[in-house]
Structure 1
Amino acid sequence: MKVLAIASAGGHWIQLLRLKPAFEGHSLVFMSTKLCFAETVKGYNFYRIPDANRREKLRLFYSMFCITKRIILLQPDLVITTGAAPGLLGIIAGKICGAKTVWIDSIANVEKISMSCKIASSFADRTYTQWPELTTEKIIFNGNVLS
């Protein structure tokens, strides 16, 4: 199985790296917003994508174009993300291209689900929270990636 793991910088990237052992034995590819992150995943293919957020509408479109193009070329079986906007765009593009999709909301979202998670729950095959109090009909708690 080919797995595309995508996340933006900071805690999203750190949490994504914690998932790496879950994909041993599979073809794992990483995608993020900082080229220097390639150093943290030596031995794996890594692709830099442009960062964007909801306040940068044109940049969101550009990022979506770049992410979709890469997903079409990679043809992953699974797209998994810990957020934020680039991860959401990856979930949407992955779903459109026929991949299974998984969103894991950041552990930092203690009191409420992120806006990106709410949107992802409409597209992703599975959507997870890392806090049991935040579960809904569509958003599942199954532990957290930092423990």
Structure 2
Amino acid sequence: MKINPHVMAIASAGGHWVQLMRLRPAWAGLRVTYVTTDADFHQTVRQHAEQDGEPTPGFHTVTEANRWQKWRLIKQLLGIAFILIRIRPDVVLSTGAAPGYFALRIAKLLGAKTIWIDSMANAEELSMSGKRIGKYADLWLTQWEHLAKPEGPKYLGSVL
């Protein structure tokens, strides 16, 4: 891994994105590229960088999609693949939903380290993506101690 790794932080809009933004201090000083499903978040990312005294990070959007929108999911998958191949991050981190799932799967194939932090909103059970991502995540975390299992995900304290 490089001395100053390139992190790709990806999440769908809404609560997943809010949680991802709360993690920003974890990658302070690193080269970061954000990916989400809402182009309006670019301004927020710029404002946070300015407030933190950081350079403006990279920013990309992909198609919004869910499990009932198969063609949109394919478009989202292709968009994420294109971004990953183009920017070649060292680490891909997600707090959830389809974009994060696809990103971690592809990133693993490309040799990047992968981190999944399951949504805080999923207090009773893991998210659908969270249940499926485990074997592709180098670090697989849950926000809830009672959801942790020996085979994963791990609970390392409440990080959000």
TM bracket, shorter-chain basis: over 0.9
1:57-104 CA-partner distances (Å, limit 9, x unpaired): 121111111100100000000000001111111111111111100110
- State the structure with more CA Rg: 2
Q: Residue 94 of structure 2 aligns to a residue in which SS? A: strand
Alignment match of 1:39 (pick from 43, 58, 80): 43
Paired letter, 1:141: Y
Matches within 5 A, 1:34-113: 34-42=38-46, 43-113=56-126
- Give, in whole Å, the separation in 2 of the partners of 1:9 and 1:145: 20
Alignment match of 1:123 (pick from 136, 139, 147): 136
- Give, in whole Å, the separation in 1 of the partners of 2:146 and 2:41: 32
Given that residues 77 and 99 in structure 1 are in contact (C-alpha distance below 8 angstroms), is that contact kept between their aligned partners in structure 2?
A: yes
Cα distance, 1:145 vs structure 2: 3.4
Cα distance, 1:128 vs structure 2: 0.5
Q: Residue 79 of structure 1 aligns to a residue in which SS? A: strand
Q: Which runs of 4+ in 1 moved over 4 A?
A: none
Paired letter, 1:4: M
Q: Residue 14 of structure 1 aligns to a residue in which SS? A: helix
Given that residues 15 and 145 in structure 1 are in contact (C-alpha distance below 8 angstroms), is that contact kept between their aligned partners in structure 2?
A: no
Aligned to 2:152: 138
Cα distance, 1:37 vs structure 2: 0.4
- Give, in whole Å, the separation in 2 of the partners of 1:115 and 1:141: 18
When the two structures are superposed, what TM-score results if normalisation uses the length of structure 1?
A: 0.96
- Give, in whole Å, the separation in 2 of the partners of 1:114 and 1:2: 27
Q: What is the RMSD of the two structures over their aligned residues, measured on CA atoms?
A: 0.9
How many equivalent pairs are there? 146
- Give, in whole Å, the separation in 2 of the partners of 1:143 and 1:85: 25
Q: Does 1:6 align with 2:10?
A: yes
Cα distance, 1:143 vs structure 2: 2.1
- Give, in whole Å, the separation in 2 of the partners of 1:47 and 1:144: 28
User: Percent identity, aligned pairs only?
Assistant: 45
When the two structures are superposed, what TM-score results if normalisation uses the length of structure 2?
A: 0.88
Q: Residue 40 of structure 2 aligns to a residue in which SS? A: helix
